[in-house]
Amino acid sequence: MPGMLLSFLGMAIFPLLYTLTDWLAATNYDGNYALGILGAIGMLLSVVIIGKAHKDLGDQWTHTHKQVDHPELITRGIYASIRHPMYTAHFLWGISQALLLWNWIAGFGFLIGFVVFCPLRLKLEEANLRRTFGQNYDQYVANTPRFMPKLW
């Protein structure tokens, strides 16, 4: 739960404070518009990846590491190339947010929270998948990269 709160602060609250108030103005820095454009492209790509991951999971998606009533190991769609596309998308979101919001707290808040939170949640999630699907999950792990698709 603390990880979710930290992520929410970095992904929503700090950017809103930065955008709507001057409370974080003391931590602003000079940005680069070219990097801002790159950040906007990255943000759009992260939203597309999250949407595709949710679509491919269908009713198997849950916001916790706990399983649904009738679990199915999803290995199709985006999950055929990446085991954890939502984590990939959130990492890209964090980098993109840092490129878009030229403020040390609002820009990097989500990325820092994600980097702390992700390994803990991933450990729980993968342990649950291994417990639920056993050898099928081990085979999937052996053939499918965790965060980035194989490029060759």
Residue with tokens 């590491």: 65
Pick from 1, 2, 4: nearest CA to 90 = 4
Q: Where are the domains of the chain?
A: 31-143
Overall pTM > 0.85: yes
CATH architecture of 31-143: Up-down Bundle (1.20)
Per-residue pLDDT of the chain (152 residues; tens, 9 = 90+): 666 777 788 889 999 999 999 999 999 999 899 999 999 999 999 999 999 999 999 888 776 656 667 889 999 999 999 999 999 999 999 999 999 999 999 999 999 988 888 898 899 889 989 999 999 999 999 999 999 888 76
Whether 74 contacts 129, CB under 8 Å: no
